[in-house]
A and B are shown apart, each in its own frame.
Chain A
Amino acid sequence: MDSYLDNLPVFVDTIKSIKETIITNIVLIGQVPSPTFKEKRRTSIFMERLAEFNVDECTTDGYRNPIGIIKGTSKTKPPIFVVAHLDTIWGTDIDHYYTIKENSITGAGIMDNSIGVGVLVSLPEIFRKLNLSFESDIVLAGVIQSLGKGNLRGIRHLLKTWATPIRGAVCIESNELGRLNYYADGMTRCEIDCNISTINGWEHKFKPNAILVLNEVINQILKLRLPQKPRSRVIIGKMSGGFKHGMIANDARLGFEIQSNSDKMVKSIFNNIKDIVEGISHEYEVELKLKTLSNIHAARIKFNHPLVKSTVDVMKKLGLTPASEPCESELSIFLSRKIPAVTLGITRGENYQQTNAMVEIEPMFKGIAQIIGVIMAIDSGVCDE
């Protein structure tokens, strides 16, 4: 362990020496729009680039997640997964062309998750440059249908259909360098639709306003008494509705997430909100529909798990201070399948999830060295106990 820890600072310089190739991969893949459910073009580029770097196998699984495999030296050790989600929140009509300056890259999707995907595709070349080989096969997977209504379908399918055990996994996100996620909260993502009939009838002497109805739903959600333990919260994240300024809104939609480190509590809060929705629907005589978009179970490895401890060592060796929060991403699917995994960020930036998102180039090389260090830790057996 210590021997490769000592090498990590040197790795940073070697990785930096091929920065043109790494940034080229980030740009060539990241500039291809890839909204959730429409990742086909980005998948093709991802495969093309992986094939260019001579991975031993390059294929897609039954769900069209693109995968590259670098064969390991051992015939018995299970594979190590390195994954990054391919989808973005931006549609095909948004300009995805990046601007590169001396120490920054700017453009839609760069922070979520073009850096992650570009680095993933660059790993075969980085391993070659660092003269690294592994006992385990390294499976490089760009997973589709991860965000929002995608509900992590890509990674769910990949792991469900993967025939052999998996040794451990690293999930790559563009930002934020220093993050160390090793636990996932239980989460239910929901939408409430409010529709007011446009036909004038006896039931509405005073026509209700869909936005105000949802406002009442929000007020009642905010009145819920949520426990501090198990740690729980409801995040009101999205709202839309109405037609024009001077007209009562007939339609409105509210998007929210229930998060808790207890699945039971998520379910309980969901039931409370369901009661609120039914009550308001009855009292206001409007149609309110509560839909569940996705569910994630709470799962974790402990802070003293050897993978987490090794990751902390790797980060400290590189001068990074680990910061941990719950993470509802590919990580949760690995953990819920009892596969030790962490999520790491590559670099720092600003304007997250804006069309002018910007990342810094220089910290990226440390971020990549950290990924390599953790893969080496897994290959040395920290997940095998």
Chain B
Amino acid sequence: MNRSWLEKNTFHYSEFNDLNRLVEEKQRKNLKISLCLPTLNEEKTIAKEILIMKSELMTRYPLLDELVVIDSGSTDKTRKIARAYGADVYEATEILPDLEQFKGKGENLWKALYVTKGDIIVYLDADIKNIHHRFAYALIGPLILFDNIKYVKAFYDRPIAIGKSKIRPTGGGRVTELVVRPLFSLFFPELTQILQPLSGEYAGFREIFEEIPFPIGYGVETSMILDIYDKWGLDVIAQVDLDRRIHRNQDTRALGKMAFVILMTFINRKRRLGLIDLKEDLFNEMIQYNLVKNEYKPDIFQIEGHERPPIVEIPAYREKFKKSL
């Protein structure tokens, strides 16, 4: 196993805080960079992300060329607020409307490839309470400064906001430590060097993203790593320490569903890559139980496990970006 990757391809955000240098290098390489925020009911945090990124990485340092919000049908004011602060806002259903419609984060990320113009796409979750422009520039830095790196993933020390106003000093990453890391250790030990494979912040070249399939739900981060690793190897991947990320806590039941989807994605990938053989298909229902009036009642969460193909296989995309298969 190649253990040197961790040392060679792990960075700290402070290594990229010379924004003038990043802008110069971006211009020298004639690159365009798009920032995409996938949203679903993020009215509390979306404005802050847009404002800070626009101020610091568009107005003051022209590192980003566009800021796009792809929304999954929020029922709060997410889209209205995002528009008010100057983001290009799309409902996922408006993009490639002739295709069958799905709802999920992966769907938004995939469709962002169609509406953005950048050679580099930066994806940030829209629920980051302590958003700072380092979340974007530190992911862009390795892509611009190192020719071999094509995909960059964030990791953090992640406290979780609990209760109304208190902060707990450490925690987070339960699904990573209880599900993903054991799986990687069993099947792809090299990938355990990626410290937070489920982090929702990553950036990469369009040429990478357009060549890989996107599960529409939670499994998108896991599948992305497995596919990039399989197609291009570990050396095109880098990870950056972004210090701290404050986000909403999720209860164990929600994390259980997330773990279910990730396991499903992982096993399907393994099977597709010919690495394992299952005698029968997996079930697609996560069953949790509630005690209702002294009776245990199942709460069934059904996952269809839909997946978008590499977007380069979509004719409308190839036409728009002048690509061929």
**Residues of A at under 8 Å CB distance from B?**
18, 20-21, 23-24, 27-28, 31, 93-95, 97-102, 108, 355
How far, in Å, is B29 (CB) from chain A's closest CB?
25
Binary contact readout B121-157 vs A (1 if CB under 8 angstroms, 0 otherwise)? 0000000011010000000000000000000000000
Chain A, residue nearest B128 (CB):
A97
Binary contact readout B159-187 vs A (1 if CB under 8 angstroms, 0 otherwise)? 00100111100000000000000000000
Contact status A31-B130, CB under 8 Å: yes
In the complex with contacts A98-B48, A101-B77, A21-B165 CB distance below 8 A: no
Q: Which residues of A contact B54 (CB under 8 A)?
A: 20
Partner of A28, one of B43, B52, B81, B246: B52
Contact status A97-B130, CB under 8 Å: yes
Q: Knowing that A20-B55, A94-B165, A102-B47 touch, tell me 14 more A-B residue pairs with CB under 8 angstroms.
A: A21-B55, A21-B59, A23-B51, A24-B51, A28-B132, A94-B166, A95-B161, A95-B164, A98-B48, A100-B51, A100-B81, A102-B77, A102-B84, A355-B164
Chain B, residue nearest A26 (CB):
B51
| Chain B 231-255 interface residues, beta-carbon cutoff 8 Å to A | 246
Contact status B81-A21, CB under 8 Å: no
Docked pose: A95 CA to B246 CA in angstroms? 10
Main secondary structure of the interface of B (DSSP, over half): mixed
Q: Which residues of B contact A97 (CB under 8 A)?
A: 129-130, 161, 246
Contact status A100-B55, CB under 8 Å: no
In the complex with contacts A21-B60, A24-B56, A27-B51, A93-B167 CB distance below 8 A: yes
Q: Which residues of B contact A27 (CB under 8 A)?
A: 48, 51-52
**How many A-B contacts at CB < 8 Å in the complex?**
57
Docked pose: A355 CA to B161 CA in angstroms? 15
Q: Which residues of A contact B323 (CB under 8 A)?
A: none
CB of B44 within 8 Å of the partner chain: yes
Chain B, residue nearest A92 (CB):
B167
Chain B, residue nearest A21 (CB):
B55
Docked pose: A108 CA to B167 CA in angstroms? 13
Contact status A95-B166, CB under 8 Å: yes
Q: Which residues of A contact B47 (CB under 8 A)?
A: 100-102
Interface size on B, residues (CB 8 A): 27
How far, in Å, is A65 (CB) from chain B's closest CB?
25
CB of B271 within 8 Å of the partner chain: no
Q: Which residues of B contact A31 (CB under 8 A)?
A: 130
Contact status A24-B55, CB under 8 Å: yes
Docked pose: A355 CA to B132 CA in angstroms? 22
CB of B45 within 8 Å of the partner chain: yes
In the complex with contacts A28-B132, A94-B165, A99-B44 CB distance below 8 A: yes
In the complex with contacts A94-B166, A99-B44, A18-B59 CB distance below 8 A: yes
How far, in Å, is B133 (CB) from chain A's closest CB?
8
Docked pose: A23 CA to B51 CA in angstroms? 7
Docked pose: A102 CA to B167 CA in angstroms? 26
CB of B80 within 8 Å of the partner chain: yes
Q: Which residues of B contact A99 (CB under 8 A)?
A: 44-45, 48
Chain A, residue nearest B43 (CB):
A101
> Can you report 8 A-B residue pairs in the complex whose CB atoms are below 8 A from each other?
A23-B51, A27-B51, A95-B161, A97-B130, A99-B45, A100-B51, A102-B47, A108-B165
Q: Which residues of B contact A20 (CB under 8 A)?
A: 51-52, 54-55, 59, 85-86
Scoring A28, A95, A100, A101 by chain B CB atoms within 10 A of each residue's CB, the highest score goes to: A100
Docked pose: A274 CA to B84 CA in angstroms? 58
Docked pose: A31 CA to B165 CA in angstroms? 13
Q: Closest 10 interchain pairs by CB? A: A20-B55, A100-B47, A97-B129, A95-B165, A24-B55, A21-B55, A99-B44, A20-B54, A102-B84, A24-B52
How far, in Å, is B9 (CB) from chain A's closest CB?
28
Docked pose: A332 CA to B45 CA in angstroms? 39
Contact status A93-B60, CB under 8 Å: no
In the complex with contacts A93-B166, A97-B161, A355-B165, A102-B80 CB distance below 8 A: yes
Q: Which residues of A contact B164 (CB under 8 A)?
A: 95, 355
Q: Which residues of B contact A18 (CB under 8 A)?
A: 59
Docked pose: A371 CA to B130 CA in angstroms? 29
Chain B, residue nearest A33 (CB):
B167
| Chain B 46-102 interface residues, beta-carbon cutoff 8 Å to A | 47-48, 51-52, 54-56, 59-60, 77, 80-81, 84-86
Q: Which residues of A contact B129 (CB under 8 A)?
A: 97
How far, in Å, is B102 (CB) from chain A's closest CB?
30
Docked pose: A100 CA to B246 CA in angstroms? 16
